[in-house]
Structure 1
């Protein structure tokens, strides 16, 4: 197919026209991204220069938290990088991050409008959703009330709370399994840790403990693992918008995964509705249903439907799954490689509590060495180098020149240094 240009007798294939148009668009996008006028009296945020379209992605390498920490030593506690075409503000140092996340936490609690986030819980996720207004506050309050109600519920069979009973039962099952596996020359405990953590969270959210070979439990574990792999690998379309319109097998799998998980949780929520008893709260789902009985939050006029419960339960489930599993894995690694520390912890527990009962949360103040080990494990391993990106509507309103589209930040803590990207 050929096209005439401006009445001349010059003809060009339509393919060449499309290529030329695409190149012009890319050049304009690059110019728009890297050239922004700075108002008089203000300075441009320091930071490394990036490449057109991809920004500083190559500079981050395989360990972006370490790369950011190194950059901050050169450019200071506030710097700017580019992820694709999206400018990102990076905050470093404990006091800077404390100022943003603690002292001005309300201002920095928003989420950026990333492409992949729109497909998690239909964009209504507390964790990934863009909304940070009254609707978000009402749902957050609902989630907090659900957690508080459940965690404070007394166990019907023990003197501890319901949460501690679930953890204690699963710990017994995990220890028995590990003792069985220790008869072999070697084994990987991670698989059993994952299943045990999933069981505790299922007990908290759904009120039941599964067999380790249960099909539904394994399905939940596999979906969570797939979600972690898909989210952890990153989605270039989040930072290079033009890629949203190109075929993407990973993104299709990600969408399908989130839909299947939501369908599973919705099925469990509806089962809870059919057996719900207001005088017998069994789990977090029951607690959320109880708070949703009036259908409308009295403070925010927010509809509290089955899907609201599904989104909140999904957020609570995902929030503790990977972090708890990874924390337990690192704890085991440190204890195995440092048997002298393991012995000191056991001696402290034996001396303070004895072996007649299990440690409880109320014993925390009596076990300073054990708690010191856990805190040092978190600090030294830095297994969660980045948080989910944040954005701020307050700064977007007052500093549009700086934040458009500069509006995301991520936290990392490589060893002793803290780094946050906004």
Structure 2
């Protein structure tokens, strides 16, 4: 009887697999869904898609199925866009069709579809416009924001000075500095790095960022408006998440790379000394005269590919894309790492090389493939602020300190500890020696 029962189970599994395979074959091909590996019942392609390194998995699948392919994460099909031309075509050239935010469990649980990051349709448009106009009113893109960053960098330098050249982990100090810039914009004040409420906020943001691996007025005369208190609070927290953890993690990863490549660090310091000197702090206007430093900052963002898969998108209606038809509601993964690590645009893309953004004569070289903040209508609204912060913080730190590793360079690991939703640098320590 036991053998008969086991045989029945095996037979049922085989039948389910056959039905699943037949259904998959019927849904994919020209005029249908993009091709992809055959899914198993219930679990889909989970065995083939490694959660800890999905970008590498998608790279291998793209070599077999092309730049547009389908994988099944459980029951749900996901269309993967893997290459600059298809990512640009979807997010930029056909932005309206691909602008909707795809499902994210952490967003659904934490935000209930509210805020800027996880909302959709008219609600998202209203909140994004409001956020951008409010940030502009608070000084986004103006000198006042630059002054806030410069002021906070002074406090950061004071804290680094307290280490007196001894080993320390820069994670906490960088997070505090970047978060305080957002605090100064939103709340009109900065906080001491030991303030308990400030530390609680920092801890919550860090936890959410790890899991993702992701009194303002009401308009009472519009009861159906997106501008209700809960939505505005959620949107504010979105700005903190997007404007703190991503930027501080990028700078932290950047300092690690500068430890690993001391000659690059020296060249940045030489340019800082030549253009800025020691009597004043670097400013955004200096960037035009500092092509090597600008190239290093761009290469940091390119190399680390902080959000390799971007945040998921979806299509709001049945959409013909190239030779396929993507059904309404299908999740879309635009693989940003496939753009940032394109070997034709960036030779030897897995090597950290500022030359990727330099012309032969040493001037800065722009690239359409540089999209660490995504692209199109869902591009990060704080891109301008983040780029300003990364440049100023890196330049200000290197103006005052030489960064020294606490282990041999050969032992210094620059491989991310997480390679799913976000690429986080491994924990490390450094010594900041005053110049």
- The TM-score normalised by the length of structure 2 is 0.68
In structure 2, distance between residues paired with 1:215 and 1:224: 14
CA contact (8 A) 1:382 1:413 kept: yes
1:343-362 superposed Cα distances (whole Å, 9 cap, x missing partner) = 22122122222222212122
Q: Shift of the alpha carbon at 1:32?
A: 10
CA RMSD of aligned residues (A): 3.5
**Cα pair distance change 1:111/1:32, threshold 3 Å:** farther
The alignment status of 1:86 with 2:76, answered yes or no, reads yes
Residues 373, 355 of structure 1: alpha-carbon distance in 2 compared, 3 angstrom cutoff:
same
* Matched-pair contact (CA < 8 Å) for 1:47–1:79: yes
Equivalent residue, structure 1, for 2:177: 196
Contact conserved, 1:87 with 1:406, CA < 8 A, in 2? Answer: yes
Please list the CA deviations of residues 119-145 of structure 1 after superposition, one character each: whole Å capped at 9, or x if unmatched: 33332222112x22x222121110110
**Aligned counterparts of 1:358 and 1:296: Cα–Cα separation in 2:** 48
1:2-401 correspondence to structure 2 within 5 Å: 31=20, 34-35=23-24, 37-38=26-27, 42-61=31-50, 62-129=52-119, 131-132=120-121, 134-152=122-140, 161-184=143-166, 186-232=167-213, 269=215, 289=216, 302=225, 304-395=227-318
Provide, for residues 169-206 of structure 1, a one-character-per-residue CA deviation record: whole Å limited to 9, x for no partner.
2211212222222432x221112212222222222222
Equivalence map 1:396-407=2 (5 Å): 402-403=326-327, 406-407=330-331
Number of positions where the alignment pairs a residue of Structure 1 with one of Structure 2:
332
The residue that corresponds to 2:341 in the other structure is 416
Q: Is the 1:87–1:405 contact (alpha carbons within 8 Å) kept by the matching residues of 2?
A: no
Structure 2: 5+ residue stretches without partners: 1-8, 343-368, 375-435
Contact 1:205 1:317 in 2 (8 A): no
What displacement does 1:391 show? 0.5
Distance 1:195 1:213 in 2: 9
The 2-side partners of 1:223 and 1:328 are apart by 20
Report which of the two has the higher share of helix.
1
Q: CA deviation at 1:363?
A: 2.2
Superposition deviation, residue 89 in structure 1: 0.6
SS in 2 for 1:409: strand
Shift of the 218–149 alpha-carbon distance from structure 1 to 2, 3 Å rule, reads same
Cα distance, 1:213 vs structure 2? 0.9
Instruction: Please state how far the C-alpha of 1:328 moved relative to its aligned partner.
Output: 0.5
Following superposition, the deviation at residue 333 of structure 1 comes to: 1.0
How far residue 221 of structure 1 moved from its aligned partner, in angstroms, is 1.0
What is the deviation of 1:98? Answer: 0.7
Distance in 2 (alpha carbons) for counterparts of 1:209 and 1:343: 32
Q: Output the TM-score relative to the length of structure 1.
A: 0.69
Q: CA deviation at 1:75?
A: 0.9
**Cα distance between partner residues in 2 of 1:220 and 1:56:** 37
Runs of 5+ consecutive residues of structure 1 not aligned to the other structure: 1-19, 155-160, 235-268, 270-288
Any conservation in 1 of the 2:123–2:226 contact (CA below 8 Å)? no
- CA shift at 1:73, angstroms? 1.2
Deviation readout 1:320-361 (Å, 9 max, x if unpaired): 222101111111112222222222212212222222221212
Q: Which piece of structure 1 moves more, 408-417 or 360-369?
A: 408-417
Cα 1:125–1:400, aligned 2, differ >3 Å: closer, same or farther?
farther
Q: State whether residues 268 and 292 of structure 2, in contact with CA within 8 Å, keep that contact through their aligned partners in structure 1.
A: yes
Q: 1:50 aligns to what SS in structure 2?
A: coil
Distance 2:42 2:261 in 1: 47
1:66-90 Cα deviation digits (max 9, x unpaired): 1101211111011111111110111
Task: Tell me if the contact between 1:296 and 1:304 (Cα under 8 Å) persists in the aligned partners.
Answer: no
Shift of 1:44: 4.8
| Secondary structure at 1:79 match in 2 | strand
Deviations 1:363-419 (A, max 9, x none): 221211110011111112223212111001143699997426533324330561389
Would the alpha carbon gap of residues 326 and 152 (structure 1) be closer, same or farther in structure 2, given more than 3 Å must change? closer
